[in-house]
Structure 1
């Protein structure tokens, strides 16, 4: 193949491959980002009520944390195999597996964030007439955002890595390119797709960190300023 005629002696680096397969790399990257974003978003939508249930009813805390932790320990290939009869060879199979993996990180961080809310803030809100729902949305969740966003960042980076395993059903984004190149030992494709995965993880973490700083400006106020106030 023409793309194998690299301009450097190192088989791992081939700019001709990057140039000639740019559309293929773009499509794989878009699929990777889409699967990751959908999985983390669904995971967050499920993790939040689970965390609230575990906090509201202590009897549910143990089962919720135990179940999500157990799911996280299942090897990815085994997880996808268990889900295969339900979803077949589809993107839903990969997304469901990734959602299940994200739950343990998200649930624990949401609980940690809620537990870190100062009791004085809760009492002050109740004294102002805040009900349970308003207290949660206007006081507790905003103050829990640093821990919650930290969980989203960890879950996102982890999901980007795990998405590559979806190549076993043809829904692995950049993992598809890695899997396709391994039988023929096409090193340039393996390295390029792997580097793009790393760059995606770094970029996603930086973007979420920026979002976290934007949503929680009070965390950047120096302690001296807070004491003065």
Structure 2
């Protein structure tokens, strides 16, 4: 318990506002790495996922990629790219590693979102004369947004945790405090930095949860609410029976 109290005291110490790396700057750098990595991964994975979900081609490759990504050691990937690109390109190497780790969950969210759309809805759109491109843009993409946001949510949480490894290759982000704490055997600093990362992850998770709920179309939300409320379904059947 004393260690936890010391970690909280470390976070709110006036010393965190000064020094070579103030805490606010470390948090900003950590979030910047996360945002850039997820954005670049989304630019690569989302269009590919939509095409895979719409055409059904390449699904086996996407599934294999998502599965293989779980077996890749994040720390090893960061160090490998730093060695390949050189120590003068540590920022680019670290960002590339984070992007590669974020692509699989976003890709999975994009193509499963399109695949999960009710085929009757797709067939109805085609029957009214929509082209394949219009079906994708106006039907499959909007209805598949919740699962896509879920993929972005998963990727963001994975990246915000993995960005900590940047502290091993450079004096960036909250990982720097953890690496420095290990070297100094300052356990309150290690736990304090870890707690800040946990808070960032929880806040980002809540934001994505709200966004995931907000992008659900009204009709789908109403249908889910009706399905979860037996009394509402019974009243609707009674109204339909009386009308006939």
Which of the five TM-score ranges fits, normalised by the shorter chain?
Answer: 0.7 to 0.9
Greater alpha carbon shift after TM alignment, 215-224 vs 24-33 = 215-224
Alignment of 1:223 with 2:226, yes or no, is: yes
Residue 93 (structure 1) shift: 1.2
**TM-score w.r.t. structure 1 length?**
0.85
Change in Cα spacing, 1:183 to 1:55, as seen in structure 2 (3 Å) is: same
Counterpart residue number, 1:209: 209
Cα separation, 2, equivalents of 1:59 and 1:114: 13
Counterpart residue number, 2:176: 176
- Which SS does the other structure have where 2:183 is aligned? coil
Q: Is the 8 A contact 1:53 1:61 kept in 2?
A: no
Cα separation, 2, equivalents of 1:79 and 1:120: 43
Cα separation, 2, equivalents of 1:210 and 1:114: 21
Residues paired across the two proteins, number: 223
Choose from 15, 18, 24 the match for 2:13.
18
Moved over 6 A (4+): none
Residue 59 (structure 1) shift: 5.5
Q: Is the 8 A contact 1:28 1:173 kept in 2?
A: yes
Choose from 66, 69, 74 the match for 2:67.
69
Alignment of 1:102 with 2:102, yes or no, is: yes
Cα separation, 1, equivalents of 2:4 and 2:111: 53
Change in Cα spacing, 1:176 to 1:120, as seen in structure 2 (3 Å) is: same
Choose from 30, 33, 37 the match for 2:31.
33
Cα separation, 2, equivalents of 1:22 and 1:180: 17
Cα separation, 2, equivalents of 1:52 and 1:16: 43
Greater alpha carbon shift after TM alignment, 126-135 vs 82-91 = 82-91
Cα RMSD for the two superposed structures: 2.7
Cα separation, 1, equivalents of 2:119 and 2:8: 56
**TM-score w.r.t. structure 2 length?**
0.80
Q: Is the 8 A contact 1:166 1:172 kept in 2?
A: yes
Residue 28 (structure 1) shift: 0.4
Residue 194 (structure 1) shift: 0.8
Alignment of 1:130 with 2:130, yes or no, is: yes
